[in-house]
Amino acid sequence: MASPAVSAPKRETDPKKRIVITGMGLVSVFGSDIDNFYNKLLAGQSGITLIDRFDASSYTVRFAGQIRDFSSQGYIDGKNDRHLDDCWRYCLVAGKRALEDANLGQQVLDTVSLLIDGQNEDRCLGWVRHGGSKVFTDAVEALVQRGYKKISPFFVPYTITNMGSALLAINTGLMGPCYSISTACATANYCFYAAANHIRRGEADIMVAGGTEAAITTTGVGGFIACRALSRRNDEHEKASRPWDKNRDGFVMGEGSGVLMMERLEHALKRGAPILAEYLGGAVTCDAHHITDPRADGLGVSSSIFKSLVDAGVSPEEVNCINAHATSTLAGDLAEVNAIKKVFKDTSEIKMNGTKDLEPQVTIDTVPNVKKQHEVNVGISNSFGFGGHNSVVVFAPYKP
C-alpha cells in the first residue's frame, strides 16, 4: 500500500495569528546597547574575564562572563535598586529597554493596560527565571553566621522564581498573563514559545518575553564546579568556551538578560510599530533521560527541531541558519550535532555558530574565527537545559 502523500508545510497567513518581533532589550557583559553588543560579537570580542566580585582564588574555576559597571539609572528607583538581586535588576532594565525599542513607553502603556468597554485591551506579560542567587547566598551566610533573625525580609520575595515577571508588571502596569518558567538553560525559548501561544489564542496582543540570570556568586560558581560542568582553562579564559572543539572541557558561566517584544502582526501594523523579524513557530520536548546529561542519540533534540518546523510551517530545506546551543560540553555538543543531522539531510547551505578545531563528526559550516555575510532565509535557535528540557524556536525576516 502506498504511503499517503505529505502536503507541503504552510506558514500562517492570518495577520491576527502572525507574530512579529517589535522590540529587543538586553543587559550583557558588553553593555545594554543592542548594536554595540552585536558589533562586538561580530568582531569576535570576548566578554570572559577573571572573577573579582568575590575572592575566587581558591576556586578551581576563576573566570566567567561577569557584568561590570552596570547602571539601572532611569529604569529602577534608587530605593528599590538597593534591595534587588542583580537578576531582577537586569530583567527590569532589559524589559523596559525592549518596551522602549518597540515604541511602547510608559505613556503609551498607560493608555492600553486597562479593560475598556468589557473588551480585553490589556497588554500581557511573560517571563523566565531561575532564582535570586545573591539574595539566597546572603541569606545562607546570615543564617549560619548570625542566626535566622538576621535574614533579610526580602529573602523570600526576591528568590522566588515568579518575581522577575511580577516586578516588570508592577513597574509597567501590564495586567495580562504574568508568570515564570524555569527549565534551566532552555527557559527563554520556552517563554517565547508560551508567549506566542497566548497571542495565537487571542489572549494577548503583545507579550514581553525573555530570560535573566545572575549566578556568578560563591554558591553559583561553586555549585557548577561541583557538577563538573565548567571549563577549567583559567590561564586562557578568553578561549575557554569552544563548542565542538576537539579539546573542549566544559562551558563558561555568564550573566545578563535578554527580552523580546512579541506582537500580533495586525496590532503592530495598526500602531506603526517597528518590525524586526517574524516568529514562525517553536516546540518543546523532554529527553526523559538524565538530570544533567543529554541523550547521546539526540532524539529529544531532533524531535524538538522537527516539531518546531511543523509548527512554523517550514520545511527543513528552507532553514539556512542555526543558532546552536553549543555549550562546549563533551556530551552535549555531539548530541546536538547528531540531532541536527537527523533533521537536515543536506546541511551545505546552513551556517551554524561555532569556533575552531572541530570534531570530525561536525561537517556543518560553523563560521569559525572570521565573520561571513549570510542572508538568512529561516533560522532556528536551540536551547537545552539540565533535566532534559529541549526547546527550539523559528524566526525569519519579516515579509508582508
Q: Catalytic amino acids?
A: 185
Q: And the C-alpha cell for 296?
A: 547521546
d(CA 344, CA 336): 12
> Shortest CA distance to 196 belongs to which of 304, 279, 113?
279
Q: And the C-alpha cell for 137?
A: 547566598
Phi and psi torsions of 119, nearest 5°: -95, 140
Give the residue ranges of DSSP H helices in the chain.
34-42, 78-83, 86-101, 106-112, 133-146, 163-172, 187-200, 218-226, 265-270, 299-312, 330-343
- The tally of CA atoms less than 13 A away on the side-chain side of residue 119 is 6
Is 316 exposed, middle or buried (CB count within 10 Å of its CB: 0-12, 13-18, 19+)? Answer: middle
> Shortest CA distance to 30 belongs to which of 61, 64, 62, 69?
69
- The tally of CA atoms less than 13 A away on the side-chain side of residue 391 is 21
Q: And the C-alpha cell for 48?
A: 570572559
